[in-house]
């Protein structure tokens, strides 16, 4: 009878000498972007406004005439008003009034946002001289002398503001009688 012999063998594993490879791959460094000369801007402060997520029923806010500025022209102090009256195609009625409250001239503009007090003070659309040039050009246009028969240009804003414009703009102030 043969007795099984139990042999004790140890497993020989070869030793491999090699540089250790990290398990986590190396992150490549970002490639630097070329430097481009940018114009230097004056930092400005922008007021944060809340965002309306849920809107309720819209109600028209009554906005009256807004004083834009006052300036001297031909020895008289004149006042520029933005009437916030909307006409056809989004036009806004501007008015220049003298010290006695009489309208010197008025005109419709598509840039009503440029003729507010804040826009004038911050020179949002033009410089102060640019604003005054526009006001004076409107005054020169109204003061032109027209030779011959015919009516002169009216300074009453209601002559330039039709009933159709009032209906389309939703103006129910009754300022012009309609």
Note the pLDDT tens digit of each residue in 92-123: 999 999 999 999 999 999 998 999 999 999 99
Residue 115 within any structural domain of the chain: yes
What average pLDDT does the segment 80-93 reach? 89
Higher pLDDT, 89 or 81: 81
Q: Is residue 124 part of a domain?
A: yes
pLDDT for 51 equals: 58
- Position with higher pLDDT, 17 vs 97: 97
User: pLDDT exceeding 70 applies to what percent of the chain?
Assistant: 55
Tally of domains in the chain: 1
In a domain, 75, yes or no: yes
- Whether residue 49 is contained in a domain is answered as no
On whether residue 72 sits in a domain, the answer given is: yes
Instruction: Tell me how far the alpha carbon of residue 73 is from its chain's centroid.
Output: 30
Check residue 37 and give its pLDDT.
57
Higher local confidence (pLDDT), 153 or 149: 153
Q: Is residue 84 part of a domain?
A: yes
Residue 99 falls within a domain, yes or no? yes
pLDDT for 89 equals 83
pLDDT tens digit string along 33-75?
A: 666 555 555 555 555 555 555 555 555 554 688 999 999 998 9
pLDDT of residue 162: 73
What is the residue-averaged pLDDT of the chain? 75
| Domain annotation covers residue 89 | yes
Q: What does the pLDDT average to over 154-174?
A: 74
The domain containing residue 92 runs over which residues? Answer: 66-133+155-161
Average pLDDT over residues 124-143: 86
The pLDDT of residue 32 is above 90: no
């Amino acid at each position: 009878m043969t007795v099984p012999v139990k042999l004790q063998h140890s497993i020989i594993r070869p030793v491999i000498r090699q540089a250790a490879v990290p398990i986590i791959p190396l992150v490549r460094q970002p490639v630097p972007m070329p430097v481009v000369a940018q114009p230097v801007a004056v930092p400005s402060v922008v007021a944060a406004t809340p965002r309306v997520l849920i809107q309720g029923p819209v109600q028209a806010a009554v906005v009256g005439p807004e004083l834009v500025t006052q300036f001297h022209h031909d020895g008289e102090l004149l006042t520029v008003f933005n009437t916030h009256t909307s006409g056809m195609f989004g036009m806004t009625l501007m008015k220049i009034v003298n010290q006695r409250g009489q309208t010197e001239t008025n005109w419709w503009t598509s840039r009503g946002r440029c003729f507010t007090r804040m826009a004038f003070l911050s020179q949002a659309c033009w410089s102060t001289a640019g604003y005054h040039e526009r006001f004076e050009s409107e005054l020169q246009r109204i003061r032109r002398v027209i030779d011959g028969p015919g009516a002169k240009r009216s300074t009453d804003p209601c002559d330039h503001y039709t009933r159709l414009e009032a209906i389309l703009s939703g103006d129910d102030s009754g300022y012009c009688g309609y």
